[in-house]
Structure 1
Amino acid sequence: MTPSARLQAAIEMLDWIIAAARDNGASADNIAKKFFKERRYAGSGDRRAIRELVYAAIRRWGDRPESGRQAMLGLITEQPELRELFGGSQYGPAAIDADEPVTSGAQIPDWLTSRFASLIDEPEKIALFDRAPLHIRVNGQRSTDLEVRSAWPEATALALPHSYELPAGTQLEDKILFQEGAIEIQDLGSQAIAFAGAASKPTLVLDLCAGAGGKSLALAAMLPSDSKIIAADTDRGRLSRIDPRKRRASARNIETILLAPGQELESLAYLRAGCDMVLVDAPCSGTGTWRRNPELRWRMTPKRLEHTTELQQRLMDLGSEMVKPGGRLVYAVCSLLDVEGGNQTERFLDRHPGWREISIDLPIGRPYRRGLLLSPYHDGTDGFYFTCLEKL
């Protein structure tokens, strides 16, 4: 493909991504896979160049552009070499009109800028767009740290036990140790949340928003084999991914339960006041994962954020009903916004006077508003806020 044809393909892919962000459709990564599957003529070099153009635009614009073309036109100021590719050549984008609209603005939407936790200053915000590292967790039930370090001598030990960083781009899925469940790909921040949840050695755990089971698997590896972890979610597709993962990891103490949206309490009634620990890894804005999913900025609106925080409150209240006296509730969001973090903890404690904050002792993170804050700049992790609360 010519450079102009690559640019046109990037514009077309951006149009798909913009529409999906507006309509709450597929992720940018999934769209890219489908896009290239329909264009098998694009070689590996073409695909790499197109993706680089697409993600340059996604990372640059905080507000959702009107179109892929406008987004690319906006990049010309910073990448002037793009201008000559808008020449109207075959398979390339049309020539630029003098009065053509162009995307402009900051990397972070104006309406979000003031909502970040007070610890998140300008260097912190810039780091939200760095390339995310590759973190792994060694599964002690299937291997040892020594065996993993022997397989990947370039691995760097991280702050938590059994956690390592590998060079970006390291291929793992085709390796025997990965296939046998010796390691899991998991950001250090997610590992930290599971580590905090496992600290009290709970026997019965409810992972209320389990998704694909990353934190359930981490908890299973950290807790005794006679513990029981119930992974619950309303998303059948995501929950179905747990079974093959737990078999690979030999996590026999995980059970799954599919919840009906709005009827979660009925499905979980048998656990009421019976859990030693409930993890609420709640749906959120995803501001802490912009390094991996920068198009999330294009999906979030003030109205959606309001609905999300209402859901978070409901999930905290629901989770708290499952905790027995002396048990714990761990609330976590991959967000750096106060409205989803510290505000939620303080409001929960106002609504539930029979609870108290428990100090979280970890080698990473910063104490913040009755919880702990992790960020890419300070900790090298995805951005997280989480808290540990005890039922009196």
Structure 2
Amino acid sequence: MTPSARIQAAIDLLDAIIASARDGGPAADTLIARYFKERRYAGSRDRRAVRDHVYDAIRRAAERPETGREAMIGVAQERPEIAALFDGSVHAPLPIEPGETGAEAGAVPGWLQPLLAAPVEQDALLGRAPVDLRVNRLKATPADVALLLADAAPIAGLPDALRLPEGSPIEQNEAWKAGRVEVQDAGSQWIAAACGAQPGMTVVDLCAGAGGKTLALAAAMAGQGRLLAADTIRSRLARLEPRAERAGATFIETLLLDQAHEARGLAPVQGQADVVLVDAPCSGTGTWRRNPEARWRLTQARLDRLVAEQARILDFAAPLLAPDGVLVYATCALTDREGRDQVDAFLSRHAGWTAEPIDLSVGRRHGEGLLLTPGHDGSDGFYFARLKRGA
């Protein structure tokens, strides 16, 4: 592909991504993979260059553009070398017309800015994320893994964490294939640490998804005790079994719940759990480094639905705790409605519950919990709190 043809390919992909964001379709990375699966003539350098163009345009535009051309012209207006590739040659975009403008630049959609937690450094939300790893103590030690990953650096405050440069192909490394490491952002690892899971406990990961935090809890429990991973989406939960097998965490139980009837499915463990983790569905505003087009999908109505769902989940999670048990509430979101305010509302609804301090050398105290942000902590953005049931 010529450099100009790469720009046109990026525009075509951006058109598909914009339409998918508007209609609730597949994410950008899925659409890019499909695009190149159908165009085998594109070499690895072509694919990398087109992908970079696409994500440069996505990161630049806070609001969803109307077209891919508008998104790409926004980049061209700031980079003359890109503007020169709008040359009208074969497979290239037409020249930029006088007065033709690109998408407006910005980090956060205007309607969302006043809803973000006050300490959030907005410009850092769209930086490129590194590859963070968690060493799986069921199979290895950090010293063992460091021998296989020469580029890995430790992460302060997380003894089992290592960090690789952005884009590192970890799944080709023997450490990953053998289950000695899992890809897991540092923020997620801190949330697992805040749970305080120990061998012999009964622990429930209530919104387990594909089980990233479940596996971290399994390692903390040294494979001893009862660990239940629950979710309402079968396809997500199905991804945990092969991951658990690779990690040597075969003691994990899985439970598929019927949405809107979760309490019925969880009745056998009511009042028994030492720890319940609620990593709730959320806006994902803390993960924009990895999914920048998520800004184009989020609406006020969707945020309202998520806030209501988070409160509902917390309310059916609370009865699962044994006396003195701990509920850890977490979201990869940076709006106060999903974090600080959600925790305050839970405590006002549930007598006998208190918030506990979280003893971690990271984040900033925000309300009753901790706020992690890319700018301050170098991780994805998270809010989490430890809520204790009275005796």
In structure 2, how many angstroms separate the alpha carbons of the residues matched to 1:324 and 1:59?
45
- Counterpart of 2:116 in structure 1: which amino acid? F
2:342 corresponds in structure 1 to 344
Determine whether 1:204 maps to 2:215: no
Q: Which residue of the other structure, out of 365, 368, 381, is the alignment partner of 1:367?
A: 365
In structure 1, how many angstroms separate the alpha carbons of the residues matched to 2:205 and 2:4?
49
Q: Give CA deviations for 1:186-230 in whole Å, capped at 9, x if unaligned.
A: 111101111111256671111111011000000000014321111
Count of residues in correspondence between the two structures? 389
1:44 corresponds in structure 2 to 44
Q: 1:53 to 1:330 in 2, by over 3 A?
A: same
2:230 corresponds in structure 1 to 232
1:132 corresponds in structure 2 to 129
Bigger Cα displacement from structure 2, 193-202 vs 373-382 = 193-202
- Counterpart of 1:385 in structure 2: which amino acid? Y
Following superposition, the deviation at residue 82 of structure 1 comes to 2.7
Q: Give CA deviations for 1:106-159 in whole Å, capped at 9, x if unaligned.
A: 221111111111212xxx211111111111111111112221112223322212
Bigger Cα displacement from structure 2, 194-203 vs 359-368 = 194-203
Q: Give CA deviations for 1:243-298 in whole Å, capped at 9, x if unaligned.
A: 00000011022111111222212211212222111111011111111111101100
Q: 1:53 to 1:317 in 2, by over 3 A?
A: same
* Secondary structure, counterpart of 2:84 in structure 1: helix
- Counterpart of 2:86 in structure 1: which amino acid? F
The answer to whether the 8 Å contact 1:198/1:223 transfers is no
1:92 corresponds in structure 2 to 92
The answer to whether the 8 Å contact 2:311/2:346 transfers is yes
- Counterpart of 2:126 in structure 1: which amino acid? F
- Counterpart of 1:195 in structure 2: which amino acid? A
1:388 corresponds in structure 2 to 386
- Counterpart of 1:241 in structure 2: which amino acid? R
Following superposition, the deviation at residue 83 of structure 1 comes to 2.7
- Counterpart of 1:36 in structure 2: which amino acid? F
1:153 corresponds in structure 2 to 150
2:102 corresponds in structure 1 to 102
* Secondary structure, counterpart of 1:114 in structure 2: helix
* Secondary structure, counterpart of 2:384 in structure 1: strand
Q: TM-score, normalised by structure 2?
A: 0.96
In structure 2, how many angstroms separate the alpha carbons of the residues matched to 1:202 and 1:278?
14
In structure 2, how many angstroms separate the alpha carbons of the residues matched to 1:327 and 1:360?
15
Q: Which residue of the other structure, out of 211, 214, 234, is the alignment partner of 1:213?
A: 211
Unaligned regions of 5+ residues in structure 2, if any? Answer: none
Q: Give CA deviations for 1:34-74 in whole Å, capped at 9, x if unaligned.
A: 11101111111111111111001100001111111111122
The answer to whether the 8 Å contact 2:197/2:220 transfers is no
In structure 2, how many angstroms separate the alpha carbons of the residues matched to 1:92 and 1:56?
18
In structure 1, how many angstroms separate the alpha carbons of the residues matched to 2:342 and 2:242?
34
- Counterpart of 1:160 in structure 2: which amino acid? L
Determine whether 1:190 maps to 2:172: no
In structure 1, how many angstroms separate the alpha carbons of the residues matched to 2:346 and 2:216?
26
2:71 corresponds in structure 1 to 71
The answer to whether the 8 Å contact 2:138/2:223 transfers is no
Bigger Cα displacement from structure 2, 21-30 vs 87-96 = 87-96
Q: Map of 1:243-282 to 2, 5 A cutoff?
A: 243-282=241-280
The answer to whether the 8 Å contact 2:175/2:181 transfers is yes
- Computed over aligned residues only, the root mean square deviation of the Cα atoms, in angstroms, reads 1.5
The answer to whether the 8 Å contact 1:202/1:276 transfers is no
In structure 1, how many angstroms separate the alpha carbons of the residues matched to 2:119 and 2:198?
28
* Secondary structure, counterpart of 1:93 in structure 2: coil
* Secondary structure, counterpart of 2:31 in structure 1: helix
Q: 1:170 to 1:98 in 2, by over 3 A?
A: closer
1:55 corresponds in structure 2 to 55
* Secondary structure, counterpart of 2:59 in structure 1: helix
Following superposition, the deviation at residue 101 of structure 1 comes to 5.9
Determine whether 1:113 maps to 2:110: no
In structure 2, how many angstroms separate the alpha carbons of the residues matched to 1:351 and 1:11?
50
The answer to whether the 8 Å contact 2:197/2:275 transfers is no
1:167 corresponds in structure 2 to 165
Q: TM-score, normalised by structure 1?
A: 0.95
The answer to whether the 8 Å contact 2:130/2:167 transfers is no
In structure 1, how many angstroms separate the alpha carbons of the residues matched to 2:96 and 2:151?
48
Name the % identity.
Answer: 50
Determine whether 1:177 maps to 2:175: yes
Q: 1:337 to 1:391 in 2, by over 3 A?
A: same
* Secondary structure, counterpart of 1:221 in structure 2: helix
Q: 1:8 to 1:314 in 2, by over 3 A?
A: same
Determine whether 1:9 maps to 2:9: yes
In structure 2, how many angstroms separate the alpha carbons of the residues matched to 1:227 and 1:142?
18
The answer to whether the 8 Å contact 2:107/2:125 transfers is no
